[in-house]
Amino acid sequence: MDLAENIKNVQEKIADYAGRAGVPAEGIRLVAVSKTVDADVVRQAYGLGLDTFGENRVQEFLRKSEALPKDIKWNLIGQLQTNKVKYIIDNGVDLVHSLDRLPLAQELQKECVKKDAFIDALVQVNIAKEETKSGLYLEEVEDFFEQAGGFDRIRFRGFMTIAPYTDDRAYLRKIFAQAKALYDHWKPHFKGFDYLSMGMSGDYGEAILEGANMVRVGSAIFGERIYK
């Protein structure tokens, strides 16, 4: 694996798709998905210029954040259990991507109040209504915000979605376009509602074309082994 070459290729592809979408490449935030990747490899990627890494499990985030440079921006991208919330509040998490249900929002609010802290979070939406994926359905978003939108310790920063695994690129773009429309609708309602996180190694080009300004790329950087 040539880590430097992989990073260069991903950055060039992001720039190419950003140009095709008519947006500046520097406006697309790259989250390098480092789940199951050894800390030493993450350190190498950091040395090659990456500063934002995504972890699925709280335990793995805690272990790596302790061992790696303190200015790394850690994103939690996997489903977050409510009993793990206490470990991430005021503990180096830059952004939670997977706020997918009201009980989790309630727990985040409670722990932030307890620690006099704040947390930045993206609301996860399940556009395609896949049973194997977490996230709010489109018709549930308004009710969620009616109940959680006033939680003053959660800074709602945007939406995250995971597209279906498919080779139908037109269908992917349709899913991403629906997420972008949802984002555009809710953006005026919240200060700092700036991120639309969508697109992974196999589809981040289509995501950028439909308005993503944050992509989560793992295997294209670190190799397929991280998903085994």
- Kindly tell me the burial class for residue 148, based on how many C-beta atoms sit within 10 Å of its own C-beta (0-12, 13-18, 19 or more): buried
Domain presence at residue 227? no
Q: Is the confidence at residue 227, as pLDDT, over 60?
A: no
Domain presence at residue 75? yes
Model pLDDT, residue 224: 81
48-87 confidence digits (pLDDT tens): 999 999 999 999 999 999 999 999 999 999 999 999 999 9
Domain presence at residue 98? yes
Domain presence at residue 154? yes
Domain carrying residue 192: 3-219
CA distance 145 to 60: 30
Q: Which amino acid is at 43?
A: R
Task: Give the pairing of strands 52-55 and 29-33.
Answer: parallel
CA distance 20 to 71: 32
Mean confidence (pLDDT) of the chain: 96
Domain presence at residue 71? yes
Number of domains making up the chain:
1
Using CA atoms, how far residue 206 sits from 7, 77, 136, 209, 226, in Å, is: 19, 20, 22, 5, 23
Domain presence at residue 226? no
Domain presence at residue 181? yes
Model pLDDT, residue 225: 58
The string over 113-127, giving b where at least 16 C-beta atoms fall within 10 Å of a residue's C-beta and e elsewhere, is: eeeeeebbbbbbbbb
Q: Is the confidence at residue 226, as pLDDT, over 50?
A: no
Look up the pTM and report it: 0.95
Transcribe 79-135 into DSSP letters: ---GGGGGGTTTTTEEEEEEE-SHHHHHHHHHHHHHHT--EEEEEEE-TT--TTS-S
Domain presence at residue 159? yes
89-148 confidence digits (pLDDT tens): 999 999 999 999 999 999 999 999 999 999 999 999 999 999 999 999 999 999 999 999
Q: Which amino acid is at 68?
A: L
CATH of the domain at 139: 3.20.20.10
Residue given tokens 């180096």 in the structure block: 92
Structure token digits, residue 216: 């989560």
DSSP code of 187? G
Q: Is the confidence at residue 200, as pLDDT, over 70?
A: yes
Mean pLDDT on 151-163: 97
Which is nearest to 129 in space by CA: 178, 167, 68, 202?
178
Three-state secondary structure of 119-158: EEEEEEECCCCCCCCCCECHHHHHHHHHHHCCCCCEEEEE
